[in-house]
Amino acid sequence: MSQKLDPQFHKELDAFGCHDFTQCMNCGHCTAVCGLSENKVAFPRKIIRYVQLGLKDKLLKSPEPWLCYYCGDCSQTCPRQANPGETMMSVRRWLTTQYDWTGLARKFYLSPLWEVTALALVAAFVVALFLLFHGPIVTDRVELNTFAPVVWVEFGDWVLAVGLGSLLLINAIRMASFILSIERVRKIPLTLWLSELRTLVIHFFTQKRWRDCPAPTRWWKHVLLVSGYLTMMLLVIGMLRWFQTNGSHWRVIDLLGYYATGVLLFFTGEAILGRLRRRDEIHKYSHLSDWTFLILLFVTSLTGILVHVFRLAGLAMPTYVTYVVHLAVAVPMLVVEVPFGKWSHLAYRPLALYLLAIRSRLEEAEAAVSLTDVPQPSPA
Ligand code: SF4
Ligand code: SF4
């Protein structure tokens, strides 16, 4: 089958952070070094070759970029300093823009103006909602639920969750159609989709392949970070009416908030410091999207815990104002990052493993069928 080459593709990918791959001489050392590369799904050399040749269709069909957890081992040992780890990262950013049907992901990844404007517009919308519709402001004690009725905030959370989840789901379906091809997707029986669902769930919650990378502490850190996200999601989407209350008393449920905030503040703070120092291989190169993601997550966590501190201290106005600031940072972060930005990798990575598992079961079945097609010798 003929493949379209795009000789200008390297320029396109350069804008996604990839600068050094032109140095690659395809020696294959990185693939040999990578603890996650396997015979059937070998990387990163193959992916770098696709990039060099401008084989965009091949890249779109490749789940391999999502199988890299960016340990940096291959970049450290590349004899040409071609930075294969960062190339894989840049290809993931490019793929995220290709899966996104709205075109917004591409705008946000490539234009700081677009990203900052989108964040500012959503933040302004949140502040305007509070200015226009906030409840009575009680100042002699903290009445957060009077200022921001929990049923309305909970309704907003659900609208956001369903809206952003739907956008991400559509992008995930597009990813599946690229990797498996539409013809194949149609052939896959429902039972196969269902039987491999456990792969999706296990890898979403554990990211356990990361343990095969040379620095297993990074796996632990990422698992804790994801547990922080999930705990916070549980509190604000499923348990808000218990989590957000009036008064200045302490409740047992606050322990969950401390856990989520502590984990998010610690690990985002550590990552920000790492990117500032640029000592580790994985922190040497930072794309704008890396900074916005980390800073927004850090500020969201910080303002969240400040709301709690002010509420416990009985400071009414600081509680209300910080609450508005908290949502004016958290909501734009979710709107930009979940379906269009870095957070989408939480869905795409386990999905790639799920699609690979389905593809390999399908190939086994197809191989078995083609064997039965071979004419058998007639008995003598
Ligand atoms: S990226 Fe480096 S190690 Fe990998 S194939 Fe190219 S030159 Fe070899
Ligand atoms: S960064 Fe790590 S996981 Fe990714 S390709 Fe290189 S060695 Fe493999």
Residue 144 — pLDDT band, cuts 50, 70, 90?
A: very high
**Is 366 domain-assigned?**
no
Among 57-61, 287-291, 332-336, the minimum mean pLDDT is found in 287-291
Are 79 and 203 in a shared domain? no
**Model pLDDT for residues 152-209, shown as the tens digit of each residue:** 999 999 999 999 999 999 999 999 999 998 777 888 889 999 999 999 999 999 999 9
**Is 373 domain-assigned?**
no
Q: Using alpha carbons only, give the angle 36, 38, 44 rounded to the nearest 5 degrees.
A: 65
Residue 28 CA, closest ligand 1 atom number: 5
**Is 1 domain-assigned?**
no
Are 24 and 114 in a shared domain? no
Q: Are 109 and 16 in contact (CB under 8 A)?
A: yes
**Is 271 domain-assigned?**
yes
- Specify the residue for token string 């894989």: 88
**Is 31 domain-assigned?**
yes
Torsion sign across C-alpha atoms 240, 294, 354, 4: positive
**Does the pLDDT of residue 379 top 60, yes or no?**
no
Are 88 and 179 in a shared domain? no
Ligand closest to Cα of 92 equals 2
Q: Are 87 and 20 in contact (CB under 8 A)?
A: yes
- Specify the residue for token string 């095969």: 212
Q: Which residues lie with the beta carbon below 6 Å from any ligand 2 atom?
A: 33-34, 36, 43-44, 68-74, 84-85, 88, 213
- 359: tokens are 């593809």
Q: What's the predicted TM-score (pTM) here?
A: 0.91
Ligand closest to Cα of 281 equals 2
Ligand closest to Cα of 52 equals 1
Residue 2 — pLDDT band, cuts 50, 70, 90?
A: low
In the chain the first and final C-alpha atoms are separated, in Å, by: 41
Are 152 and 248 in a shared domain? yes
**Is 364 domain-assigned?**
no
Q: How far apart are CA 176 and CA 360, in angstroms?
A: 14
Whichever domain contains 66, its CATH number is 1.10.1060.10
The DSSP element (H or E) to which 377 belongs, if any, is none
- Going from the Cα of 37 to the center of ligand 2, the distance in angstroms, rounded, reads 8
Give the residue from 77, 99, 121 where a domain finishes.
Answer: 99
Are 319 and 270 in a shared domain? yes
**Model pLDDT for residues 227-264, shown as the tens digit of each residue:** 999 999 999 999 999 999 898 899 999 999 999 999 99
49 closest CA partner among 9, 89, 15: 9
- Which residues span the domain enclosing 75? 9-99
**Is 53 domain-assigned?**
yes
Give the residue from 70, 99, 128 where a domain finishes.
Answer: 99
- 228: tokens are 């922080």
In the prediction, which pLDDT does 186 show?
80
Are 197 and 252 in a shared domain? yes
Are 38 and 164 in a shared domain? no
- Going from the Cα of 35 to the center of ligand 1, the distance in angstroms, rounded, reads 15
- 220: tokens are 């632990």
Closest-CA residue, ligand 1 atom 5, reads 26
Are 204 and 135 in a shared domain? yes
- 158: tokens are 């659900």
Residue 45 — pLDDT band, cuts 50, 70, 90?
A: very high
Choose one of 64, 67, 76, 88 to mutate for the ligand 2 pocket test, by most ligand atoms within 8 angstroms of C-beta: 88
Count: domains in the chain:
2
Are 327 and 250 in a shared domain? yes
In the prediction, which pLDDT does 130 show?
97
What are the residues whose beta carbons fall under 8 Å from the beta carbon of 293, sequence distance 6 or more? 333, 337, 341, 342, 343
